[in-house]
Amino acid sequence: MRNILYKMRTPAQSILLVLSLCSLTAPALARTALQDEQALHPDNIVFLEQNWDARDRQWFYHLNQGSNLLSYDLFLHLEQYDSQELLREPLHMMRFGFLPGVESGTNPDALPIGFARDGDNVGLTCAACHTQHIRYDGKLLRIDGGQAMLDLPLFLHHLEQSLTAAINDSAKLTRLGRRYHGERASAQEILALKTLLQEDLARIRDNNRRNHSPAAYGYSRLDAFGAILNKGLALTGVNDNFNEPDAPTSYPYLWDTPQHDYVEWNGSQSNSHIGALARNIGEVIGVYGRVQTTPATWLYFYDAGYPSTVHTKNLRAVEKKVAALHSPQWPDIFPAIDEEQAARGRTLYQQYCLSCHQDIDRTDPQRRIKVRMSSLEKLGTDPKMAANVLEMRGKTGIFEGKPRFYLVGQVMGAEEPALFVANNLMGGVLRNNPLQSLLAIRDSKKLGHPEVIHPPKYLDGEILARGEEVSDRALLAYKARPLNGIWSAAPYLHNGSVPNLYELLLPAAARSKTFYIGSWEYDPVKVGYVSGPAPGAFLFDTRLPGNSNAGHEYGAGADGLPTLGEEEIRALVEYMKSL
């Protein structure tokens, strides 16, 4: 069933489409390893010390950012496509990796973590992709800002099927109408509800069609850049104007993100000046924020940019909250770190890792991070994500003749890199929020970021010449960040292609070609999730496009043979547990 949901999107696979439709009457799907009843009870969860309290967490989990996925009341009452149980039922939502929420002032209907209400609509927040559970010795650990075990495309395909079933199954539609309007729902009310369902379905179906990838992402990954770029191209007014988002990356951990000079896996976004707010606007646009592409006019003459559902004030607040977040430390419930072995590992870390992954004080409020960029050629990891950002193109439609950054920059022709259209959208939304834009610049200065929009960054350890930092050479690279909290960030590499820290230190040829992801069970020896054919687990195949586990062979020589012995690898892993 899992593969059908991913593959049914193309006409050439009509057989799979028929099979998926037949499944509408099939028994409910078997429970997966992620559907853990222990997680339904907050008292069962161990919260690590990360400088947030319970109020901070609830605020972050459900703060409205302006994402409009579908109608709020529909989401409350919509049934699963293959049963009469609600789609939002907590145990069911855990199938996709969403963590159960609790009833609170910010979450009155106890929606999963990462869902928030925006007026009559419901959408996603940062917390959906950046809140993590780890299980060890029967205990569940919560890591805020960590890498979620989330399969968003799988959820969206289930959502599409559930909306379709509600429209086509009169019994489902009647039950939905009674939940929505009350037991005496009239025929006219149910007909109006069907129209609302059709409107939401059209948006979800179009999103799924545009963002279908020939290779499934699986848990803990998403091609967020591809989705954002495709959303921009969808707003051009040109039909079928999209690219396959076929370069999924891991959800990166959030701690220290505001303190970096550059963010994103390819270091493409500066945190200086207006950059952090622009980045977060792009994120909301990518996860179903709505933008009106006809510029607003204030006082009859002032170009006020693009009105949108984006809540820029809240985005600034999120950035400040994340700036206070500390990375998690190796928990006491795990086996104790071997201090003698870790000390040997520190020496090796200084030799092999420190030139790229700098040391920081995880709790220092003045910590600042200058990222180091490694070129694709030197690093050797899968190039697809970095290359796609530059190479994805599309028709500009209504944006033809407009500057790339809304008021300034290169004027766009009939066809341009998709990134240019996304830049115009972000610039237009910023223009529509002048006060928050000015305050975001102030926030950047308080964090100590330079005032220039594109400060220098480092590629292969050498600072780039001014002007070169936005060249193809700079963007065809991946970022190396400090590794505090790295023990919680499996699977590793930017595309999640290496299951644990131990294997990351092996030559690429010795790493697993396939492994399973989809369980919270943790392996504190190799440092990663336990890989095994658990119910519902996703089989990650490193031989598929975008999934290569090559590169980052700093424990191997030019001939591909290991330069680190088994004891040295174990010592390095032991030290990295302490970061």
Q: Give residue-wise pLDDT tens across range 41-83.
A: 999 999 999 999 999 999 999 999 999 999 999 999 999 999 9
Burial of 160-172, coded b for 16+ CB within 10 Å and e otherwise, reads: bbbbbbbbebeeb
The answer on pLDDT for 465 being more than 60 is no
Phi-psi region of 21 (alpha: psi -120 to 50; beta: other; left: phi over 0): alpha
Q: How far is CA 457 from CA 166, 254, 259, 444, 474, in A?
A: 52, 20, 14, 17, 9
- Nearest-10 crossing angle of helices 224-234, 384-391: 20
Mean pLDDT, range 454-476, rounded to an integer: 57
Mean pLDDT, range 257-281, rounded to an integer: 92
**Average pLDDT over the chain, rounded to whole?**
90
Render pLDDT for 474-505 as a digit per residue (tens, 0 to 9). Answer: 678 899 999 999 999 999 999 999 999 999 99
User: Among 377, 371, 357, 355, which residue's Cα sits nearest to residue 476?
Assistant: 377
Q: Is the peptide bond before 491 cis (omega within 30 degrees of 0)?
A: yes
Mean pLDDT, range 356-378, rounded to an integer: 90
Q: Hey, how many other C-beta atoms are within 10 angstroms of the C-beta on 215?
A: 15
Nearest-angstrom CA–CA distance, 398 and 389 = 21
Q: Are 316 and 436 in contact (CB under 8 A)?
A: yes
Q: What is the pTM of this model?
A: 0.91
Chain centroid offset of residue 21 CA: 29
Confidence band of 463 (pLDDT split at 50, 70, 90): low
**Amino acid (one-letter) located at 499:** P
Parallel/antiparallel/unpaired status of strands 45-47 and 139-144: parallel
Chain centroid offset of residue 551 CA: 23
* CB-neighbour burial class of residue 126 (10 A; exposed 0-12, middle 13-18, buried 19+): buried
Concatenate the DSSP letters of all residues of 511-540 into one string: S-SEEEE---BEETTTTEEPPS--TT-EEE
Give φ, ψ of 428 to 5 degrees.
-65, -40
pLDDT at 17: 31
pLDDT at 452: 55
The answer on pLDDT for 453 being more than 90 is no
Beta bridge partners of 71: 121
Render pLDDT for 287-339 as a digit per residue (tens, 0 to 9). Answer: 999 999 999 999 989 999 999 999 999 999 999 999 999 999 999 999 999 99
Confidence band of 471 (pLDDT split at 50, 70, 90): low
Nearest-angstrom CA–CA distance, 249 and 389 = 13
Query: Greater confidence, 447 or 20?
Result: 447
Confidence band of 472 (pLDDT split at 50, 70, 90): low
Q: Are 36 and 142 in contact (CB under 8 A)?
A: no
Confidence band of 458 (pLDDT split at 50, 70, 90): low
Render pLDDT for 208-262 as a digit per residue (tens, 0 to 9). Answer: 999 999 889 999 999 999 999 999 999 999 999 999 999 999 999 999 999 999 8
Token output for 388? 């796609």
Range list of H helices, 334-476: 339-352, 376-379, 384-391, 418-431, 434-446, 472-475
User: Among 359, 369, 579, 345, which residue's Cα sits nearest to residue 485?
Assistant: 579
Give φ, ψ of 250 to 5 degrees.
-65, 150
Nearest-angstrom CA–CA distance, 537 and 535 = 6
Mean pLDDT, range 453-482, rounded to an integer: 63
Chain centroid offset of residue 136 CA: 24
pLDDT at 483: 96
Q: Are 234 and 411 in contact (CB under 8 A)?
A: no
pLDDT at 335: 97
User: Among 2, 4, 166, which residue's Cα sits nearest to residue 81?
Assistant: 166
Contacts of 285 (CB under 8 A, 6+ apart): 228, 231, 232, 291, 308, 310, 422, 425, 426, 429
Report the C-alpha dihedral over residues 257, 263, 266, 267, rounded to 10 degrees. Answer: -130
The answer on pLDDT for 377 being more than 90 is no
- Which segment of 106-115, 330-339, 449-458 scores lowest on mean pLDDT? 449-458
The pLDDT > 70 percentage for the chain reads 89
pLDDT at 3: 36
